[in-house]
Structure 1
């Protein structure tokens, strides 16, 4: 009898649990806003979050979902409603809407400074974001960034990169760290007012920490802003990432302290100097409350990491494609030699005469699509968009990889064809469908600087060297490491100096 009562009791407990789950699901479904974009159901409570995690290569997974549900669909990721846009038209309309300029709140960086409310320009929203972005753009313009005069600073670093490559004397080497050094030094000259030697051990450690974090953040930044991730902060991955971020911010903090002790308010030399002067001049004015010391630390972190990783990763892909397509490399070199000559290096003013070189860079950006998934935006108000009613607080993710590989836009999208960006006469032809820097009001802050860097570094490298696959190396692979960016698998290259 006791045994039978135990079974009945167990069944009762199970029935209650099942009933509660069913009630929760029914309540959630009933409260789920009507007229949302269609999409997959996924698991109870967790939604489609486990499916994405287990499948990997999230950008490809959501591209496949778009074939079923259309270019605009929605899904529940760990209790957060997310809308995904996968076509050029939907991305342009969605990210261009004023209600999608907000960034989802995240507590991840709040532990990194003395002010728990501190936030960088990349993660801020509303008036905070507006003030910081306006200020950053003003400072960068004032320092000459984006002007042709800044070209000399990039060209000088390109010369240092060339010398570093020559030291390998035509032997095979992994170009990743050299490229990171060179690109990072450009942004360091702007933010910190100095460059670092390629053998500086502290700087090398910093670059490795940064690269490691980009690898650890799988799925682009799809997961970073999900509230459910706060419950996973105990994992070894989260702890390692936090430690790496702390070391980078501490590096920046030391530079800030050096700047404070040597600050000349009348003659600011770099981004930190101007930031410190602004804080000093407006310390008693509430109108400048977002230009703070801790916000500056996190914004410098944004500029330093994003400004290094994206451009250096693009250049790594470019060298990989040059090894794989020697006929393209030879054609670029022929174009450079014919328009620039062998007695000087290419300059930005030469770009109109180097259409094939520019077209090749864009094809690298299209096919590699290193920012596969745009960092999430958030709807700041209830919004009617793309024929759907989207509630306030919904996240929106733009699948840039899907646009770059859309067969209705690009013929043979998996093939490397620089001629896509040339007209019948061989002149350069830009394509609006290429969105390597995102779209809308939150388009990449460093877009123009990145374009300058990519052209100067790439044209200088092809002017000075021919890049070849080492005979004893592994077959070339175009499989990507899926982190914050899509990075190539580590490879080695031989750089043969040109006469």
Structure 2
């Protein structure tokens, strides 16, 4: 009879696994509940933290932020609490800076106090504090950063005469656009390649062809990681998610490893093989030479081949994605606002003429073009939520306690969309940056490259690139939507940066009389 048959081994194993899973969930929930109780009821009496929303147990305010526009929600909460508030992402305390004065006070006037990076998995486990952008604050970071950008300036980066390098690459880009004048084009890859080549030429000593399969792959990995970073960043506040494939953390780390091994490490090895201290060809050579110099002096130094790898990765990422994103937004807004595009072209024709290309010398006279660029940078500020900082010491801000190691999140979107500073901030109005005489004026609250110790060190180069790319492209082309294409969204999608949704355009050449 079947009544006395013993359960099958598979059934017992299934029950055992289910019991184990329930036990893990119970333990995890209990620990989180304990942490939340300690946070809510035991830690507060000793600290005078900035007030803020209470949030959900275990989850903090994350459920109320959503995934599509957390920058907008944080800006709204910041306005409610006067530009400064404490909240919790999971059980992790975060102090949010959400208006101009608060950000300037904390980042611009408080010295080193708000200049660290938080000890979160995306910083500790991915890069272990190496490089520049994600490195922890201290003597080695200061030394590495100062040396790196002195070396880049020594190689010409950001200097006035470096504009020739930029315009040369713009020429390659324009030739590519002219090759298929009636074919709809997604400008993403072409812009990324052009901008990246400017950095690559001085860091690696080479540029890449637009159709290079290897380089296409590298740029695709970089862009995917900028998009993944928002979701993968949840690992910072829920560390167990790094074991969950759908969190994006594993994919983010895998992409980064492939990018470094295929592009960065390979270039460093080739430079090591051909290195000649009497012929410094590019940034990698300069860094390798510095490693040897310090090694011969017997110094304990942050200059190592491993750190070089991360410095290059930072330069490649920051030097490519941010400027290329700004240009994609610029083209999208010109398509959406043809009257503005026409007015920029009229100014270019009047100031520059049709016989030659715009140059940096004309920049002071191209007032409307500069105003348009600034308004694009304001209305679609790509670093809507900047990379988080951390306090280096116990400090105070407006009388509130900010303990050492606190994660600090500047929300620059709130500065650029403050209705008191920028009336009707969601309206595209380049005239905000023009005075009554039509001359360009930079607004005090306009901070396109951030502020403080961690502000973008490549501000001068990025500013040159955006100006020259934008004016050259509008001087040579009319940009329109392909026939029958729907109006593209101007909302954007948030990863680590605010990027436009994919779109296609038609680049129709404008007549050039004669190039000098």
* TM-score of the aligned structures, taking structure 2 as reference length: 0.88
**Deviations 1:450-498, CA, capped at 9 Å, x for gaps:** 1111011111101100111222111221021111111111111111100
Deviation at 1:105, TM superposition (A): 2.7
Residue of structure 1 aligned with 2:203, choices 187, 191, 195: 191
Q: Distance in 1 between matches of 2:90 and 2:106?
A: 23
Q: Tell me how far 1:227 sits from its aligned partner.
A: 5.3
1:228 matched residue in structure 2:
238
Of 139, 142, 158, 2:151 maps to 139
Separation in structure 2 between the aligned mates of residue 328 and residue 19 of structure 1, nearest angstrom: 57
* SS of equivalent residue, structure 1 residue 84: strand
1:10-45 CA deviation, whole Å, 9 max, x = no partner?
xxxx9xx99994796156422234211111122234
Residues 1:414 and 2:426 aligned together: yes
Secondary structure in 2 matching 1:306: helix
For residues 212 and 356 of structure 2, the distance between their equivalents in structure 1, rounded to whole angstroms, comes to 30
| 2-structure distance, mates of 1:446, 1:230 | 36
Distance 2:471 2:295 in 1: 45
| 1:121 alignment partner, one of 121, 125, 132 | 132
Using a 3 Å threshold, how does the CA distance of structure 1 residues 394 and 108 change in structure 2: closer, same or farther? Answer: closer
Alpha-carbon offset, residue 108 of structure 1:
4.0
Matching residue of 1:89: 101
What is the CA distance between 1:232 and its match in structure 2?
A: 2.5
**Pairwise CA distance, 1:441:** 1.1
Matches within 5 A, 1:146-185: 146-185=158-197
Aligned to 1:4: none
Partner Cα distance (2:324, 2:146) in 1: 26
User: Which of the numbers 246, 252, 267 marks the counterpart of 2:257?
Assistant: 246
What is the CA RMSD across the aligned residues, in angstroms? 2.2
Contact 1:118 1:294 in 2 (8 A): no
Listed as ranges, the matches of 1:255-294 within 5 Å are 255-285=267-297, 287=299, 289-294=301-306
Partner of 1:100: helix, strand, or coil? coil
Establish whether residue 400 from structure 1 lines up as the match of residue 412 from structure 2: yes
Instruction: Single out whichever of 64-73 and 245-254 deviates more from structure 2.
Output: 64-73
**Is residue 2:492 matched to residue 1:465?**
no
* Structure 1 runs not aligned, ≥5 long: 1-13
Change (3 A) 1:165 1:333: same
1:39 aligns with 2:52: yes
User: Are 1:451 and 2:456 counterparts?
Assistant: no
2:449–2:459 Cα contact (<8 Å) kept: yes
Following TM superposition, by how much is the alpha carbon of 1:70 offset from its aligned partner in structure 2, in angstroms?
A: 2.4
- What is the 5 A alignment of 1:26-65? 28-32=40-44, 33-52=46-65, 54=66, 56-65=68-77
Determine the C-alpha separation between the residues in 2 that align with 1:58 and 1:20: 24
**How has the CA–CA distance of structure 1 residues 281 and 234 changed in structure 2, closer, same or farther, with 3 Å as cutoff?**
farther
Counterparts in 2 of 1:292 and 1:22: CA distance versus 1, 3 Å:
closer
Give the conservation status (yes or no) of the 8 Å contact 1:222–1:373.
no
Shift of 1:448: 1.2
Tell me which moved more, 22-31 or 125-134.
22-31
Question: Given the two structures, how large is their TM-score scaled by the length of structure 1?
Answer: 0.91
Aligned-partner Cα distance in 2 for 1:308–1:58:
24
How many residues align structurally? 478
**In the alignment, is residue 302 of structure 1 matched against residue 314 of structure 2?**
yes
- The corresponding residue for 1:209 is 221
- What residue is the counterpart of 1:8 in the other structure? none
> Is the partner of 1:218 in helix, strand or coil?
helix
1:79 deviates by 2.4
Tell me the distance in 2 between the aligned counterparts of 1:84 and 1:222: 17
Q: Report what 1:102 is aligned to.
A: 116
Q: Does structure 2 retain, via aligned residues, the 8 Å contact 1:332–1:357?
A: yes
Runs (5+) with no aligned partner, structure 2: 1-25, 512-516
Superposition deviation, residue 246 in structure 1: 0.9
Aligned to 2:378: 366
3-state DSSP of counterpart to 2:422: coil
Contact persistence 2:122–2:233 (CA under 8 A): no
Label 1:136 to 1:222 Cα distance change in 2 as closer, same or farther (>3 A).
Answer: same
Q: Does 1:313 align with 2:320?
A: no
Q: CA deviation at 1:76?
A: 1.6
Q: Equivalents in 1 of 2:401, 2:286: separation in Å?
A: 43
SS at match of 1:283: helix
Q: Is the 8 A contact 2:391 2:403 kept in 1?
A: yes
- Rounded Cα–Cα distance in structure 2 between residues aligned with 1:60 and 1:356: 28
Q: Distance in 2 between matches of 1:448 and 1:315?
A: 16
Match 1:80 to one of 89, 92, 99? 92
Contact 1:170 1:497 (8 Å CA) reproduced = no
